[in-house]
Amino acid sequence: MSLSGAFLHIVKTEMINGGLIGSRVEKIHQPSREEIVLTLHTKQGSKKLLFSANPASARVCLTSGTPENPSVPPMFCQLLRKRLGGGRLAEITQDGFERIVFFKFHCRNEIGDGETIILSVEIMGRSSNIVLLIERDGVLRVIDALKRVSDDVSSVRRVLPGLAYELPPRKPRLSLLSFTKHELMNEFKFHEHERLDKALIKIFEGVCPLFSREATFRAASQTDIPVVNLNVESTERLYNYLENVQKLFKPTMLTDNEKKPFDFTFTDVKQYGGAMNVKSFDSANTLLDSFYAERASSGRARQRAGAMLKTLKSSYERVLRKTDVRRSELAACGERDKFRKWGDLISANLYALEKGAESLTAQDFESGESVDVPLDPILTPAKNAQKYYAEYKKLQTAEKTLTKLIKDSENELIYLDSVLEAASRASSDSELLEIKRELIESGYIKSAGLKKGAKQEKPSEPLKFTSSDNVNIFVGRNNRQNDLLTFKLAKPHDIWLHTKDIAGSHVIIKSENPSQKTLEEAAQLAARFSKARDSSRVPVDYTEVRYVKKPAGAKPGMVIFTHNKTLYVTPSEEIFNQLKEK
């Protein structure tokens, strides 16, 4: 899903038509190792221009985001500020549909002389780069680059300070902006045994796989037809589609069923039918900004969630092991009555025992059977009895302590399971940060990851849905929100729902007497936002909020409730989307 040269041409054209030419450089930041952001002052106000040389997200586009910047700017950022600061953007050019865009600035050097500085943004996968150039006597020379390329990296093209700037090797190909049917047919002769979508990438400059497959689908109603199998009608449809592609301009982003960004192109996409969600944009720049921002957000969320999940799973397994050991120790406490009985038998037979005896054979008071009681010959008979009574009391105390500890551990496991569930479905940095703060407060992780005294972000709000009966339903994103929702925002007679004995979110129906339809829809949400989201016939308890209590000292999200009833539902993506879109 790399950025194609044709799409880049549209991005560049939008920048020019949007009034970027003549703008002045206000600020320059380098939020990450491979990203540069220029803030430009235009007649329409300030605009941010993002350059990325990250192989996974290389691009250039206008952005509305506000990335966090390091306190100390990197060396390349300092160089850009020195050479570009206060300069005016004079020109934006692209060599055909090559994935290199040049931003020419008119600047002044340290002694006030005018000079032409060019920022070359190369969108070339792993070789993506941002190169700062100076134009002197018609020759472009490298001032420096975000990624210096020496002989050790490439023997074909070096990018080092002081060297003349050379464009990457380029193969001659047709342009979507100017080609004839005869030229297209002539190219087909060299690719007749290849698949059409593969051949189009080789024939046309700046064409991406998604667009080539779409062109193939528009021509032959399939995406894997060989060039040699094209008939006259298919060829004519293909030519007409390619010739009129500029008129069909429609920046389009594809998302999967989980609404995660999948791919994008500059025309409408029909090839996937209903298997993909298609979203259109008015601007190619807006599409790029949205696509990569969503990918970066979900990527960071998955990465941060991964580290958090690892910590949580480690804590869960540790508590589980500790609980198993305590259960084994509790089982051993079942022998305490034996020690009390032995003490009683020794006490009852003190008159018949002599010091140094190794055992006592006596009749059991309850069963009447003969019992052999081991004795320590070093101790007196009375001391042996006291020893067994002491063991009995020790196990009796241990049983009470272990029973409480096991109950606490079981509650801790329930809590950790709920946090694991919330972290596994967190979709944003703010949600993960809230969970992290909760874990810090609970003592599971250290606060080193959060700056002391740092300004806290505004907490996210519970999710809001609307039932078929137009009743509001709220869902907590994590345990802290669950407490807020249940004990602060909900009224006593609102309806509270939660999956039965399964980790999940608190759900509130803002109604004292909801219909059965609304109740079932809320139960659907409770099941979907739980560990049982992929199960069928999920049990969901519901009761009035006034019957939900929080025990003293309980961890976030942990409650007890009474007067409850149970519904059984199977989570449905269709119902979820209906409730979300209302």
What average pLDDT does the segment 315-322 reach? Answer: 88
Structure tokens at 70: 């390091």
Residue 135 has pLDDT above 80, yes or no: yes
**Which pLDDT band, with edges at 50, 70 and 90, does 298 fall under?**
low
Confidence check: pLDDT of 582 > 90: no
Average pLDDT (285-308) is 74
Q: Is a pLDDT exceeding 90 seen at residue 36?
A: yes
pLDDT at 204: 95
In single-letter form, the type of residue at position 367 comes to: S
Name the band, by pLDDT with cuts 50, 70 and 90, for residue 454.
very low
Which residue in 198, 207, 209, 219 sits closest to 262, CA to CA? 209
Task: Calculate mean pLDDT across residues 146-153.
Answer: 90
| CA angle centred on 426, ends 420 and 431, rounded to 5° | 105
Backbone angles phi and psi of 383, in degrees to 5: -65, -35
Cα separation of the two ends of the chain: 32
- Bigger pLDDT: 235 or 247? 235
Q: What is the pLDDT of residue 436?
A: 81
Average pLDDT, the chain: 88
Please report the sign of the dihedral spanned by the C-alpha atoms of residue 206, residue 209, residue 210, residue 213: positive
| Residues found in the chain | 582
pLDDT, tens only, 176-197: 988 999 999 999 999 999 999 9
pLDDT at residue 440, rounded to an integer = 82
The mean per-residue pLDDT over the stretch 128-150 comes to 93
Give the pLDDT of residue 283.
Answer: 93
What are the strands of the beta sheet with 463-466, ordered from one edge? 463-466, 472-475, 507-509, 495-499, 538-544, 565-569
Predicted local distance difference test score (pLDDT) of residue 23: 96
pLDDT of residue 1: 59
Per-residue pLDDT for 471 more than 60? yes
Comparison of pLDDT for 149 and 334, the residue scoring more: 149
For residue range 257-284, list pLDDT tens digits in order: 767 788 999 999 999 887 888 889 999 9
What percentage of the chain exceeds 70 in pLDDT? 94
Task: Take residue 119 and report the two structure tokens written for it.
Answer: 């920022």
Categorize the per-residue pLDDT at 2 as very low, low, confident or very high, splitting at 50, 70 and 90.
confident
Lowest pLDDT segment from 158-172, 241-255, 440-454: 440-454
Average pLDDT, stretch 135-139? 85
User: How many whole angstroms separate alpha carbon 504 and alpha carbon 542?
Assistant: 13
Average pLDDT over residues 394-421: 88
pLDDT value of position 352: 82
Question: What percent of the chain stands above pLDDT 90?
Answer: 52
- On the question of pLDDT at 10 being above 90, the answer is yes
Biggest CA–CA distance in the chain, Å, is 122
Tens of pLDDT, residue by residue over 336-387, are: 888 888 888 889 888 888 888 888 888 888 777 888 889 988 988 899 999 9
Q: How many CB atoms within 10 Å of residue 368?
A: 7
The model's confidence at residue 455, banded by pLDDT at 50, 70 and 90, is very low
Average pLDDT over residues 106-130: 93
Q: Which residues pair with 48 in a beta bridge?
A: 39, 63
State yes or no: pLDDT of 565 exceeds 90: yes
User: 10 Å Cβ neighbour count for 270?
Assistant: 11
Does 240 have pLDDT greater than 90?
Answer: yes
Q: Say which range, 239-253, 306-320, 546-560, has the weakest mean pLDDT.
A: 306-320
Whether 427 shows a pLDDT value over 80: the answer reads no
User: Is a pLDDT exceeding 60 seen at residue 24?
Assistant: yes
Highest average pLDDT, of 36-40, 138-142, 246-250, 399-403, comes from 36-40
Determine the pLDDT at residue 234.
94
CB atoms within 10 A of CB 119: 24
